[in-house]
Structure 1
Amino acid sequence: MQVTVFLLLEILAFTALSTFVIIEFVTPLAVKLGLVDRPNQTRKHHIGDVPLAGGIAVFISTVLGCLFWFGESIQDLKFYFLASSFVVFVGILDDKYELSVRARLVGQAIVSFLIVIGAQTHLSYLGDLFGLGGVFLDPYSAFFMTVFAVLAVINAFNMLDGMDGLLGTVSIVPLMSAGFLMLESGSYMLAMLAFTLSSAIVPFLVYNIGIPGNKLTKIFLGDAGSMFLGLSVVFLMIAGSQGAETSFSPVTALWLTAIPLMDLATVTARRIYKRSPIFSADKEHLHHVLMRAGFSRKQILIVVLCSSLAFAIFGVFGEQTGLPEPLMFAAFLMCFGCYALLIHGRIRQQKFLAYIARYLNRRRQTEFG
């Protein structure tokens, strides 16, 4: 497939327009089927019932976009789309019936097996992390490492979906970054998949965040959408960093997905330390901490998006300029340590984060007051 700027823009426009149309059809159907998010007294404070149509619409438009552009070549991605269909189905059941943790994990494990066994996508090479040579995994270790990675990223994205626009914008960053690197290396089909996914998310954000003055029906991604995006990102990260012809190193994949992974790791470690159930819902995620520190929702969205962009830009820069992998890995661990101390350490939001929030709010009042 010869990819030109015109073809790329055509793909983005077609997918975005089809997503707008699909949202208009799927939203009333979701309401009729009872796929709505109802507010409660604990974690859900939105106004009224909100249709969980975003994820379904993004999935359908991605499939249609890939069918339109790839034609019969889409067979090369058949197991990815099979796994995606199943994870969306599990997500719809979870949105409707609130599945138990065990049922969700079983469904996600099946999805992992489809990716590993069916798509033959294995995480068998971890890169030269310590400057001692490449770290290779034997087939059994690679199997379990891949299953663990798929489960971790799916749940990381699911956990991050707690505020309007947050997961959608954070998902576009690794998708566009990976798409660029894949395009550079000649992995055109994977690059087009990444760009198609990105363009399908944008119309959802219009409905989810809203535009001043419009009267569009507000929708959420739902578990179907968050798990689908998590699966798509981890599939592209593994497919792009493994095999004979790679688009980027495994450590670059860490930088592209830094925010979801850091949020998952710190929240999980905190729950283990407190002896709380790992999959129990709480208010210790990044957006919760920033909200308690005094940041507005708009400020949180900007802070998280800019942080995600900064990590991804460094990852792409390191990949393009050939920075040593041990250096990139050490820098990632340092950033992760700073993140953990800042968000969950003793110098939490009461001090540094609260100071930043007050400063931003004072500037906003000065400019608009």
Structure 2
Amino acid sequence: MYFLESAITLFLGAFLLTYLTIPKIIRLVEYKRLMDDPNHRSSHKGKTPTLGGAAFFYTLIIALFFIKSWSTFDEGMYIIPGLTILFIVGLKDDLVVLSPLSKLIAQTLAVSFVLANEGFIIHSLNGFLNINEIPYFLYLGIAGFMMITIINSYNLIDGIDGLASIVGIVILVIYTTIFYLSGEYYYSLIGLTLNASLMAFFGYNISGDRKIFMGDTGSLIVGFIISVLTLKFLALKPQDYTELPFLLENAPLIAISILIVPLFDTARVFAIRLSQKRGPFSPDRNHTHHVLIDHWGLSHKQASFLIGTFNLIFVMLFIVLGSTAKNIGMVIMLVTVVIVLGYVFFKYNYNFSTLKQKIILRKKVDSLKTKIEKPTLKKLKKKKSDFKN
């Protein structure tokens, strides 16, 4: 009962704090003219306030203070430095733009604080692909790479209205439930706090007159928290799985299914860029959400809800399968799904030059239509006028 009261209070407090302070951030950003200017690869047309993720930062810091009694290994003191580093880096990137290398160094430093806490150590994969014991130094390398991958993957999907919010909400709802069932209430409360902030932010993100972006300030923070929750999920002990609806050995596959949208999109985009002999972080409009908008004609909201729904259904499917199926069979299924999705979306890759050609062609077609329609319209009006006379 005490946890339920704490959870409700924390959720309402985080939601209201974010909801009430974002308008102030919008006014400040507009006053200081710190808006995001659209360019040739942007999905929005007008100048839009950014830095919405600043609300996530102080909401999480305040929440970590109030829930510290729930922690076992004083994890908050290790999470806060990482959050602060990524907040500063994200803020600077939103204002002046940082190089990928600078952000990577900052992410590595932020992740190192978390890896230094013994509560996150993964001692075993519990039989996944017949892997049991994991040496400590191997854990550091794998866990560090995994966290940085998740942070960047989430950062890269923040390209259209509502997508990062919806995907983040889906991921955090699942992790909050998993940690509640496993008795890790501290992490359940962290997930609940960030989820409340994302829900409050979502209304502004898809708004027509009070729109704001979370920016790198927000996407790096959300990606960092998701990576922390993923690491803790994989570090759960066998006794924590008694109430979870899937086999212990399937935990790594469940984690991949939870993160399928950012991981698949990042892998696909990187593969296309490397095949075109470009850098993996070079900008383009090859993301899955861009394909849904540019080629399938969906709106931002439609594309975001479609991707979010797919993420939720995919996780539910794997949780059901993970309750009985062996991990070899699930690995085969996961690889098959990724290959099919990769094939479906790979034919829609293009670069700036082809995109520019399509835009020019579309403008020419629209111009021709206008030229044809105007004389026709004039003739109809003239006939109508003659008929009246």
State the TM-score, normalizing by the size of structure 1.
0.84
Does the C-alpha gap of structure 1 residues 329 and 125 become closer, same or farther in structure 2, counting only changes over 3 Å?
farther
Select 1:241's aligned residue among 218, 234, 237: 234
What does residue 332 of structure 1 align with?
334
Cα distance, 1:16 vs structure 2: 0.7
* Percent of pairs with identical residues: 24
Cα distance, 1:315 vs structure 2: 3.4
1:283-312 deviation digits (Å, cap 9, x = unpaired): 111011112222322321221011111122
For the aligned residues, what is the CA RMSD? 2.5
Q: Which moved more, 1:55-64 or 1:201-210?
A: 55-64
What does residue 305 of structure 2 align with?
302
Does the C-alpha gap of structure 1 residues 197 and 104 become closer, same or farther in structure 2, counting only changes over 3 Å?
same
Does the C-alpha gap of structure 1 residues 150 and 73 become closer, same or farther in structure 2, counting only changes over 3 Å?
closer
**Hey, what's the Cα distance between the residues in 1 that align with 2:2 and 2:115?**
29
**Hey, what's the Cα distance between the residues in 2 that align with 1:34 and 1:107?**
27
- Counterpart secondary structure, 2:213: coil
CA contact (8 A) 1:179 1:191 kept: yes
Q: Tell me, yes or no, if structure 1 residue 155 matches structure 2 residue 152.
A: yes
Matches within 5 A, 1:1-369: 2-4=2-4, 6-32=5-31, 34-40=33-39, 42-70=40-68, 73=71, 75-118=74-117, 121-122=120-121, 125-126=124-125, 128-130=127-129, 133-210=130-207, 215=209, 217-244=210-237, 246=240, 249-297=251-299, 298-319=301-322, 321-345=323-347
Cα distance, 1:136 vs structure 2: 4.1
Cα distance, 1:68 vs structure 2: 3.2
Does the C-alpha gap of structure 1 residues 73 and 34 become closer, same or farther in structure 2, counting only changes over 3 Å?
farther
Q: Which moved more, 1:159-168 or 1:144-153?
A: 144-153
> How many residues are paired up?
339
CA contact (8 A) 2:82 2:113 kept: yes
What does residue 374 of structure 2 align with?
none
Q: Look up the equivalent residue of 1:311 and give its one-letter code.
A: F
What does residue 354 of structure 1 align with?
none
**Hey, what's the Cα distance between the residues in 1 that align with 2:337 and 2:347?**
14
Does the C-alpha gap of structure 1 residues 68 and 120 become closer, same or farther in structure 2, counting only changes over 3 Å?
closer
CA contact (8 A) 2:70 2:185 kept: no
1:55-104 deviation digits (Å, cap 9, x = unpaired): 11122222223333445859432211220111111100111110112111
State the TM-score, normalizing by the size of structure 2.
0.80
Q: Look up the equivalent residue of 1:341 and give its one-letter code.
A: Y
Does the C-alpha gap of structure 1 residues 167 and 314 become closer, same or farther in structure 2, counting only changes over 3 Å?
same
Cα distance, 1:346 vs structure 2: 8.2
**Hey, what's the Cα distance between the residues in 2 that align with 1:341 and 1:135?**
34
Find the structure with the greater CA-based Rg.
2
Q: Which moved more, 1:176-185 or 1:138-147?
A: 138-147
CA contact (8 A) 1:128 1:135 kept: yes
User: Which blocks of at least 5 consecutive residues in structure 1 are unaligned?
Assistant: 349-369
Cα distance, 1:116 vs structure 2: 1.5
User: Which blocks of at least 5 consecutive residues in structure 2 are unaligned?
Assistant: 242-247, 351-389
1:199-252 deviation digits (Å, cap 9, x = unpaired): 1101100001127xxx4x210010111111111111101111114355661221
Does the C-alpha gap of structure 1 residues 119 and 84 become closer, same or farther in structure 2, counting only changes over 3 Å?
farther
